[in-house]
Amino acid sequence: MPEEDPVGGRSNRRKFKQIGAALHEMCQPLTTLQCTLEMAALNDTLEEYREATETGLAECRRLVALVESMREVLHQASQETAVEELEAGR
């Protein structure tokens, strides 16, 4: 009898890889956001502060999109796992 895959099969392994890739992609916008906010705190003019704020907002939007994609992958994986559990219980 083959060993049961603790991750939940090939499909879920693919989803975990997708989440890992999205987490990796989040590092760049997070670093940019942190640097932008730190620079904004040092800015002397309203225009410099406004530019830093706009850059920070753009990076936040990127992060939100990545988090949403991760949530969707997790939602799909949980639905597939539930279906597999139901089928296994038959």
Is 1's pLDDT higher than 60?
no
Say which amino acid occupies 46: L
In order of 11, 38, 65, the CA distances from 33 in angstroms are: 33, 8, 15
Is 7's pLDDT higher than 80?
no
Alpha helices in the chain (DSSP H): 10-42, 46-88
Length of the chain: 90
Is 6's pLDDT higher than 60?
no
What is the per-residue pLDDT across 12-71, written as a single tens digit (0 to 9) for each? 788 888 888 888 999 999 999 999 888 888 888 899 888 988 999 999 999 999 999 988
